[in-house]
Amino acid sequence: MRLGLKGPTEYCNEYKPVFYRLRKENEHELLKELLSHDPLIQIYDTINSQLAELLKINNPQKQLSPDDINSSIAAQEKNGSLDHIGVWVYYPWSRKLVHILDEEDFIKVRTSRNLYKITPEELAVLRKKKIGIIGLSVGQSIALTIATERVCGSLHLADFDNIELSNMNRLSFTNLYNLGAAKVITTAQKIAELDPFLEVTCFTEGILDSNIDEFLGEGPDKLDVLVEECDGLDVKILSRVKAKEKGIPVVMDTNDKGMLDIERFDLEPNRPILHGRVAELEAMETPELIEKLQTLTPEERIRFVTQIIGVENVSEEMMHSLMEIRKTITGWPQLSSAVTLGAAMVTDTCRRIALGKLTTSGRHFVHFTDLLN
C-alpha cells in the first residue's frame, strides 16, 4: 500500500498556467520580460473572433452582420489596445502564449452551447462544486469530460503512475511525447489548455494515508463527489471508508459491461461500502484495516475483487482475459470505447448528483451487447 510521502504541490509549476493582464502595469512588464528572454515562445491571438462570439451571444435576437461586429470591435479598440482586453495565458510546458477573454466572458462563451440542457442557474451552482478523481488511466477521460462540460469549478486529481506505451490503447488524450510523464500532470495540462480558469490540484504520489484527508477535504471544503478509478484494492477500500466518514458520495465506472456504481454516503451515512460486498473489511478499525490491506495475499486480493465485482457481472471477454493474466497477458484489459462510455456515464452522474437531481445509490449497467444484438 502506498502510504506516507509528499503533498500535492511539488509539481504545480508543471501544470499551472501563468496569467498576464496587460491593463496591470506590473504584469505587462513581466510579460515583456518573458518574451524578451524567450523569443521562441509561440503566440496565439484570436481575441477578435472571441469578441465576435461574445457579441453574438450577448445579442441573440439580433442578426449581426460582419460589419456590425467589426464596428463594435473597432469601438472597443478606440478605448485602448485590444492587447489589454482579456488575459494572456502562458503555458510553460509547451512555451505557448494564448490571448483569451477573461474569466467571466470566457466561461460564458465556452459554456454557451450547454444552454439549456444545463441552465445558467445550474452552471452557477456547478462552478462552486469540487470533484476528486483517483486513478488517471481510466480517470483521464473522466477528468477531461468533466472539465469539457464544466461540471465543477475545482478538481483534485491523484495518481502516482507514469504513462507507458501499453496505456495508449485507452489514453486518447495523450501523445507519444508524453511517454514516461506522470499521468496526473499530463491530465492537468490538458485541462489547463482547455480551460485555464478551472482550479486543478495534483496529488502526484497517489493516495496515501498522509494525504487522503487533504485530498477529500474537510467541512465546507470537502469534495462534492469522489470518482474512484484506481487499480489498487487498498486505495479502493480505504478511500470509501474515508468518504463514508466525511459524507462524500462515491462514483465508480468499471468499464466492463458498462458497470456504474453509485454510493450516496452523503444521504445514507450508514450505507455499507461497495454495497456490502466487503463487510469483513469494513468492520475493521482504520489502523487494523490499513495493516490488513498492506498484507493481503494474491489469493485474498482475487477473492475480494471477485466479491466486489461479482462473477455474474463479468463479460465473457473479460472472464477469458482474466484467465490469461500472467499467462499470455500481463495486465487488466481495458478498451478505449468502454473507457469513453464510462467517462460519459460518470460525468452525467456527477452533474446530476451535484445539482441534486440524482439521489439514489446502486449498481447500473449500460452494456451494448445486451442493448444491441
Instruction: Specify the pLDDT at position 12.
Output: 56
Instruction: Specify the pLDDT at position 306.
Output: 87
Mean pLDDT of 122-146: 97
Rounded distance, CA 264 to CA 270, Å? 10
Which cell numbers in the block locate residue 175? 501523445
Is residue 46 helix, strand or coil?
coil
Q: Among 10-14, 152-156, 278-282, 290-294, whose mean pLDDT is lowest?
A: 10-14
Contact status, residue 145 vs residue 344, Cβ threshold 8 Å: yes
Whether 327 shows a pLDDT value over 80: the answer reads yes
Pick the closest to residue 195 from 100, 120, 86, 57 (CA basis).
100
What is the percent of the chain with per-residue pLDDT over 70, rounded to a whole number? 97
Q: Where are the domains of the chain?
A: 14-110, 120-371
Q: Any idea which fold 120-371 has?
A: Rossmann fold (3.40.50)
Specify the pairing of strand 87-91 against strand 96-100.
antiparallel
Whether 228 shows a pLDDT value over 90: the answer reads yes
CA distances (Å), origin 144, targets 8, 171, 198, 208, 314: 19, 11, 11, 24, 27
pLDDT, one tens digit per residue, over 270-314 is: 999 999 999 999 999 888 988 888 888 888 888 888 899 988 898
Contact status, residue 261 vs residue 275, Cβ threshold 8 Å: yes
Whether 138 shows a pLDDT value over 70: the answer reads yes
pLDDT, one tens digit per residue, over 341-359 is: 999 999 999 999 999 999 9
Which cell numbers in the block locate residue 39? 523569443
pLDDT, one tens digit per residue, over 59-95 is: 999 999 999 999 999 988 877 789 999 999 999 999 9
Instruction: Specify the pLDDT at position 133.
Output: 98
Mean pLDDT of 98-125: 98
Instruction: Specify the pLDDT at position 214.
Output: 97
Q: What residue spans of the chain are helical by DSSP H?
A: 25-37, 47-58, 66-78, 103-110, 120-126, 138-149, 183-194, 212-216, 233-246, 279-282, 286-294, 298-309, 316-324, 336-354, 368-371
Residue type, position 298, single letter: P
Mean pLDDT of 24-44: 96
